[in-house]
Structure 1
């Protein structure tokens, strides 16, 4: 798949400006090198403006630098990863355990590499200013949304999550500009989740998307999108593999929120511990 992006760069090369050719050469020399670089670092390395890098990404058909970087990450890293994690029916139990753990570690490492610092800061800012946070996800993503609620209820921030998609849609219709919707969808194309997202945005709520596809409708609709990178194997779908990345992003947002709301969080934890203590005999 790497060659698809590289071929696109090659086909456009004669029509690129001199500065854009510098970017093309930079990528073609070592496509994996750019995965760990921010747009600022690339522009500094090449002594060009950030806007030039951004326009180059647009010419390739990407929404921006982050989308191009994610595409390169999946194209460069995934084939190697799939080779190493190939599970055989002849593998013993321990070998399968080891391969699954290594796959999860790679998912975390790849996700960490493609997360954009600016997007992280904007996501934390939206979390901190929201009066209410609603976590949305359908199917397998509903489990991740409930896990998010289980964490964030400790922060002192008013938060909500519903397993039923109809309840989610009903709650989305009641959101306002003071609210934040955190939408979880690996594909970013689930019909129910997309309708929930559109409804939340129509009523003025801010939105964070946690997804694996930058060009997905939900990713495009969000104020901030945080992307995961995962791989598909014979025994595990890409969506299942992505959950470890989704959970880690939620963990990181949770800890950031705990730090920013330290006093409220401590008070919330005290009330929670007191309530739990009352149930003990």
Structure 2
């Protein structure tokens, strides 16, 4: 940042000086808060991010977060031929940890709030996913059902399409796709949209086909390593988003969800040894 100062406007210099004094705090601030604290404007913050080569303010915060992590904790995540089990363990752990740190920054608080409200007020929630994202969809269904919230997860493309086509404007369809371009999930989401349902997507690609048709976008971040075709760190981030939604919905409807949780727990008590 210091190298770029001489070519910047006064307002942009003020922003850089604020960030340099408050690097760790900036990671947790919104663009509005940074503008207010540096006595500039949101447009100046956006312009500065572009001048520095970042896609936007969230991208800048991700890079700041990586710098703030102590160097001794930064392990290059690429698994290389010859790595022993201990090194692989460290790299996979660090990759997943970094995915969660990055997801905190790229996932909008406003979008999370909208998603929670939509789920809490829905007649029915459906989840669509395939492969690794399919396991996330099943996990989401399980967690919401425990709270008494009607939800279904479909990992078969035919069932996804059939069920999505008969949704209503009282329902919510949630598509889970790491790339945001899974053909089957996208097809189901389009049918759900035609049926009038509210669309929520969980994806790491902010400019993918699924984000273009969704009403609410919950973005994740991930660090992929060699031999990880199932996008493990992406799945960790997706599962965490689901946990946030479930916890927030339960908190919003605390008494009702708590009562249902006791009922569903009692219903399965004889299934345990």
TM-score (norm 1): 0.77
For residue 94 of structure 2, what is the aligned residue in structure 1? 102
Alpha carbons of structure 1 residues 49 and 28: separation in structure 2 relative to 1, 3 Å: closer
Alpha carbons of structure 1 residues 212 and 280: separation in structure 2 relative to 1, 3 Å: closer
For residue 233 of structure 2, what is the aligned residue in structure 1? 241
For residue 125 of structure 1, what is the aligned residue in structure 2? 117
Q: Distance between the aligned counterparts of 2:164 and 2:17, measured in 1?
A: 44
Q: Deviations over 1:80-108 (max 9, x none)?
A: 99962233333332332222112211111
Q: Select which of 133, 145, 148 maps to 1:156.
A: 148
User: 1:149 offset after TM fit, Å?
Assistant: 0.4
Q: Distance between the aligned counterparts of 1:90 and 1:55, measured in 2?
A: 43
1:196 equivalent to 2:184? Answer: no
Alpha carbons of structure 1 residues 215 and 176: separation in structure 2 relative to 1, 3 Å: same
Q: Distance between the aligned counterparts of 1:153 and 1:170, measured in 2?
A: 21
User: 1:28 offset after TM fit, Å?
Assistant: 10
Q: Distance between the aligned counterparts of 1:23 and 1:160, measured in 2?
A: 51
Alpha carbons of structure 1 residues 101 and 266: separation in structure 2 relative to 1, 3 Å: same
- Counting only pairs closer than 5 Å after superposition, residues 46-125 of structure 1 correspond to structure 2 as 46-50=38-42, 52=43, 56=47, 68-72=56-60, 77=66, 84-125=76-117
1:267 equivalent to 2:259? Answer: yes
Cα pair 1:231 1:238 within 8 Å, conserved: no
For residue 136 of structure 1, what is the aligned residue in structure 2? 128
Q: Distance between the aligned counterparts of 1:269 and 1:201, measured in 2?
A: 31
Q: Deviations over 1:213-251 (max 9, x none)?
A: 111111122221111111122222483320100001101
User: 1:53 offset after TM fit, Å?
Assistant: 5.9
TM-score (norm 2): 0.79
Q: Deviations over 1:155-190 (max 9, x none)?
A: 111111122111011111111111111111111111
Cα pair 1:208 1:226 within 8 Å, conserved: yes
1:231 equivalent to 2:223? Answer: yes
Alpha carbons of structure 1 residues 176 and 266: separation in structure 2 relative to 1, 3 Å: same
Alpha carbons of structure 1 residues 25 and 259: separation in structure 2 relative to 1, 3 Å: closer
1:173 equivalent to 2:173? Answer: no
SS at match of 1:142: helix
Q: CA RMSD in A?
A: 3.6
Cα pair 1:210 1:226 within 8 Å, conserved: yes
Cα pair 2:80 2:226 within 8 Å, conserved: no
